[in-house]
């Protein structure tokens, strides 16, 4: 199966990523196309994935948060990747991840053209979560091999957590009001890497948001590399995603590195937000 081949290549790369991180935490004195400063590890991981993924016959296009333009190698699926998500967490030794979206179209394109998505979480243990063909599964990555942990994951019915990015005085009045109501009911958990924050929503239920900011109306996170794959996983697990208006999967970014406000989690919580 061509999709499983892509998942397996990502899993196979996880042990070397973990191994190399300790020596690549320094700055590379460069910026990525959205203006984040890059660490040596960001560039190294991007090159590793580009090489491994384009070797697959089934993949024809590789796009990454860490490079301006796509790489192509003929016909096939398009893979969009955030090689090291939350890399600012490397210095403080908090969690980071790798995010992958597999599209049946050239990029950029609508999230409706995703046919699979996955992420690796480099936590106390390395896990991988995949969404494909209607189901979300979690694996332990054991020496590069995928060992099933949980099959057919759905969001817990009773939400427990919330995590909101950005500083409060940069939030819009509408989002501040929403945050007030959520805070009284649920526990705060914000880790600063999208993947760890989303994985705990998938595990305990709740809402994660990186909202529209006054200083940045499109928020921080990138549509193709972060929002689409996360939305695909959360929606496949029975949750909802939104940019404040429509599902993140309905967004068709004009440019590869466009950003979007991001709200994902339990259906009831995302609906409340959209009805404000």
Summarize as ranges the residues that interact with ligand AHM (CB under 6 A): 36, 82, 85-88, 165, 192-194, 210, 220
Residues contacting 195, CB < 8 A, separation 6+:
85, 86, 95, 96, 97, 98, 99, 119, 120, 121, 230
Residues 75-94 that bind Mg ion (CB under 5 A): 82, 85
The whole-angstrom separation of Cα 36 and Cα 221 is 11
Please give the DSSP secondary-structure letter assigned to residue 224.
I
Q: Which is nearer to Mg ion, 11 or 227 (CB)?
A: 227
Structure tokens at 266: 């339990």
Cβ-closest position to Mg ion: 85
Q: Which does 210 bind (CB under 5 to 8 A by kind): ligand AHM, Mg ion, none?
A: ligand AHM
Q: To the nearest whole angstrom, how small is the minimum distance from the Cβ of residue 83 to Mg ion? A: 9
82 vs 197, which CB is nearer to Mg ion? 82
Complex with Mg ion: residue 46 or 85, whichever CB lies closer = 85
Rounded to the nearest 10 degrees, the angle between the axes of helix 173-183 and helix 267-274 is 150
**Minimal distance in Å, beta carbon 97 to Mg ion?**
8
Contact of 100 with 117, CB cutoff 8 Å = yes
Q: How far is residue 73's CA from residue 177's CA, in Å, rounded to a whole number?
A: 48
Report the residue number, 220 or 228, with the smaller CB distance to ligand AHM: 220
Q: Take residue 118 and report the two structure tokens written for it.
A: 């996955």
In terms of CB distance, is 85 or 178 closer to Mg ion? 85
Distance in angstroms (rounded) separating the CA atoms of residues 24 and 39: 7
Q: Is 66 in the site for Mg ion (CB under 5 A)?
A: no
Minimum distance, C-beta of residue 110 to ligand AHM, in the bound complex (Å): 22
Under the rule (CB under 5 A), what is the footprint of Mg ion? 82, 85
């Amino acid at each position: 199966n061509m999709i499983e081949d892509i998942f397996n290549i990502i899993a196979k790369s996880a042990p070397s990523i973990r191994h190399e991180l300790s020596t690549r935490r320094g700055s590379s004195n460069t910026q990525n196309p959205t203006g984040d400063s890059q660490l040596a590890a960001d560039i190294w991981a991007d090159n590793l994935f580009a090489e491994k993924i384009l070797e697959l016959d089934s993949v024809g296009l590789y796009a990454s948060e860490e490079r301006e333009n796509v790489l192509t190698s003929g016909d096939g699926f398009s893979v969009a990747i955030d090689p090291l998500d939350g890399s600012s967490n490397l210095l403080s030794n908090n969690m980071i991840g790798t995010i992958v979206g597999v599209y049946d179209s050239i990029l950029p394109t609508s999230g409706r053209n995703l046919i699979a998505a996955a992420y690796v979480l480099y936590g106390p243990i390395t896990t991988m979560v995949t969404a494909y063909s209607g189901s979300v599964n979690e694996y332990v990555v054991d020496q590069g091999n995928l060992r099933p942990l949980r099959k057919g994951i759905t969001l817990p019915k009773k939400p427990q957590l919330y995590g909101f990015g950005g500083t409060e005085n940069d939030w819009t009045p509408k989002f501040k009001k929403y945050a007030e109501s959520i805070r009284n009911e649920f526990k705060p958990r914000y880790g600063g890497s999208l993947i760890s924050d989303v994985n705990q929503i998938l595990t305990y239920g709740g809402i994660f948001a990186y909202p529209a900011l006054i200083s940045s109306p499109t928020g921080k996170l990138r549509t193709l590399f972060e929002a689409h794959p996360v939305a695909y996983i959360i929606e496949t697990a029975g949750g909802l995603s939104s940019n404040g208006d429509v599902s993140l999967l309905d967004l068709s970014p004009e440019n590869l590195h466009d950003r979007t406000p991001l709200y994902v989690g339990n259906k009831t919580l995302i609906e409340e937000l959209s009805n404000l």
